[in-house]
Each structure stands twice: as structure tokens, then as C-alpha cells.
Amino acid sequence: MAFTEKVLVTGGAGFIGSNIADELIKQGAKVSIIDNFATGFRENLDEISGDFEFIEGDLNDDGVLKTALENVSIVFHQAALPSVPRSVANPEETHQACVNATFNLLCKAREQGVRRFIYAASSSAYGDQESLPKLESMSPDPLSPYAAAKLMGEYYCRVFYSVYGLETICLRYFNVFGPRQNPSSMYSGVISRFIDALMSGTKPQIYGDGEQSRDFTYIANVVNANLRAAQTSDGIGLVMNAANGERISLNQLLEVLKDITGKTDVTAEYHDARKGDVKHSQASNELAKRYLDYENLIGLEEGLRRTIDWWKNSRFANK
């Protein structure tokens, strides 16, 4: 189904937001993007093909939001400071960017007649519960300021639907990876850092013993989940996992990447585990399958190959 309405992507200069914007433009949507470049990049905007409106500004700025939300029917809210260790180091800025910004955006979206609001929620909400896979019916157990802040956003989404009728859907992402993910910060996602290290000849860094496992999800699957959430007539007001549905340890992941890149001699450097990181993570996608007809389009290995191909032609290869 093509998009005929005007949509707003928050955090659209970031990794996930810019990929969502790209696909929306391909599907005919009139796209606006808002971003303050806290962790986003102009280069990500440059890679988006097609026309869009860009508004540079902060979601906590009411004047900027008013302009950004003009005539918008659907919001894809991706903006956040998406890092557990960053939130441990500076909980205030995470609260501002995740809780206050989300609340402000929900209030203004409601006032300006937005119909649907898709929220980028996080698997960090589950914490370290032993039982796998993680089901949406489990009680949340946030272990970091980031996890608590992202969970607060979910609660506000739920309430804005039940109290005000704003059609919210929260998609809990599990370790998303793919083109445009920035590898250059200590807060970057582990796949982007591993690829960057292998390709540029430095040692991959692992925090903990590497036996912690994650459900790594290729970006195309998350983009697909967002587009389906925007169009569904079922599952409004719910929280749903959007993931690959399998888990792999960081040690195993590194082996797969070494095979794909041919850098088989490389060894990792191990550091103390980081506060707030969970041990194991794996999603059940059953709810998203039921309500969104969600399917995992691209598996882990194919996603890794595509990400490496992107890296080879990116600014990171030429640094």
C-alpha cells in the first residue's frame, strides 16, 4: 500500500530514522525529518534518495515542533540518545532526549491532530530476566537509565492511546544493525564497531567474556515493521517486539564476521563488563507476526554481508 499522507521521522539523521525515511520516500510519502544532530549525521541525510523536508532542531523546542508537525498524519519517533553506557555516564541528558522529548512530542502530536504515532522502543526494557525468548507479556526490568527512559516512553504512548485516542504502536527493537550505523564512538552498536575494527586492521573490543548473546536484527526488518505498523488496523496501543528471533554470542558473531571478511587471524581485546548491559537477549516475534504480518526479511549473515559492502564504500573506509 502506498503512503499518501504526510509523515514526520524524528531522529531522521540517525541510523534507523534515515533508513525509515528512505523507504517511506520510495513508497510515495511526503516526508519531513527533524533532528538536532546529537548523534546523527548530515551524511546520512545525503544518502537518502528523493525529496524530503529537513528541520534542524530539538524535540524539546515547542516552536520547532509546531512547524515540524504541521499537516502530519503519522509520526515515526526514532530520536533518542540510544546508548546504555552513555546513559550510565550521564543520566540527565538521556532523560531529556528520551523521556522529556517523547512526552513533548506526544503532547504536540495530539494537539496538532496526528493520527498515528510509531515509537522506537527498546529490548533493554526486559533487563536480565532468565526466560527466553522475551515476550511482551513479561514484566519489564530496566537495568540502566537508558532502559528506564525508553520504557517511560512506552508507558506514555500507551496512555496517549487509551486516554486521548492517539493511535500509538511501540516496536521494541533488538540490537539493530546495517548501513549508516555509526561505528566511530565508544557508544556505537557492536556490529558496526566489529566491522570497522576488522576492516581497518584494529582489534575488536569486547566488554565482558563475549559469551553474552544478542538478537541482532538487520535494518530492513525494522524498517518493514515500522511501515506495517503505520498501516495496520490491528494492534493499536500495543507494544511489540521487532527482531530477528535468534541469538548469537559476541564471540560467535566475531567468528562469523572474520569468516566473511577473511580476517581470520584477528583476535579480540577483552575488557571488564559494562554496568547496565544485559547478559542474554532474544525476541519472540509472535505478536508482531499476528498483528503486523511481520516477517524477518533478511537474516543475520546476509545482513552482515550487506553492511560490510556498505562500509567499504562509506566515509569510514576512507578515514
Ligand X SMILES: NC(=O)c1ccc[n+]([C@@H]2O[C@H](COP(=O)([O-])OP(=O)(O)OC[C@H]3O[C@@H](n4cnc5c(N)ncnc54)[C@H](O)[C@@H]3O)[C@@H](O)[C@H]2O)c1
Q: Which residues are catalytic?
A: 146
Q: Does 136 bind ligand X (CB under 6 A)?
A: no
With a CB cutoff of 8 Å and minimum separation 6, the contacts of 99 are 149, 152, 153
Q: Does 287 bind ligand X (CB under 6 A)?
A: no
Segment interacting with ligand X, rule: CB under 6 A, options 20-28, 34-42, 158-166, 298-306? 34-42
- Least distance (Å) from ligand X to the CB of residue 223? 11
SS (HEC) of 52-111 = CEEEECCCCCHHHHHHHCCCCCEEEECCCCCCHHHHHHCHHHHHHHHHHHHHHHHHHHHH
Residues 108, 8: Cα–Cα separation, whole Å: 13
Q: Does 149 bind ligand X (CB under 6 A)?
A: no
Q: Site residues for ligand X, window 188-207 (CB under 6 A)? A: 189
Among 263, 284, 259, smallest CA distance to 126 is for 284
Q: Does 101 bind ligand X (CB under 6 A)?
A: yes
Name which of 2 and 246 has its Cβ closer to ligand X.
246
Q: Site residues for ligand X, window 53-82 (CB under 6 A)? A: 58-60, 78-82
Name which of 4 and 282 has its Cβ closer to ligand X.
282
Name which of 122 and 221 has its Cβ closer to ligand X.
122
Name which of 4 and 279 has its Cβ closer to ligand X.
279
Instruction: Judge contact between 253 and 194, C-beta under 8 A.
Output: yes
Segment interacting with ligand X, rule: CB under 6 A, options 36-44, 46-54, 137-145, 279-287? 36-44
Q: Does 52 bind ligand X (CB under 6 A)?
A: no
Q: Does 218 bind ligand X (CB under 6 A)?
A: no
Q: Does 142 bind ligand X (CB under 6 A)?
A: no
Residues 308, 256: Cα–Cα separation, whole Å: 12
Residues 138, 191: Cα–Cα separation, whole Å: 27
Residues 77, 12: Cα–Cα separation, whole Å: 9
Secondary structure letter of residue 297 according to DSSP = -
Name which of 142 and 189 has its Cβ closer to ligand X.
189
Element (H, E) at 33: strand 30-35
Segment interacting with ligand X, rule: CB under 6 A, options 12-20, 45-53, 232-240, 302-310? 12-20
Residues binding ligand X: what is the number (CB under 6 A)?
30
Residues 113, 69: Cα–Cα separation, whole Å: 9
> Which residues lie near ligand X (CB under 6 A)?
11, 13-17, 34-40, 58-60, 78-82, 97, 101, 120, 122, 150, 173, 175-176, 189
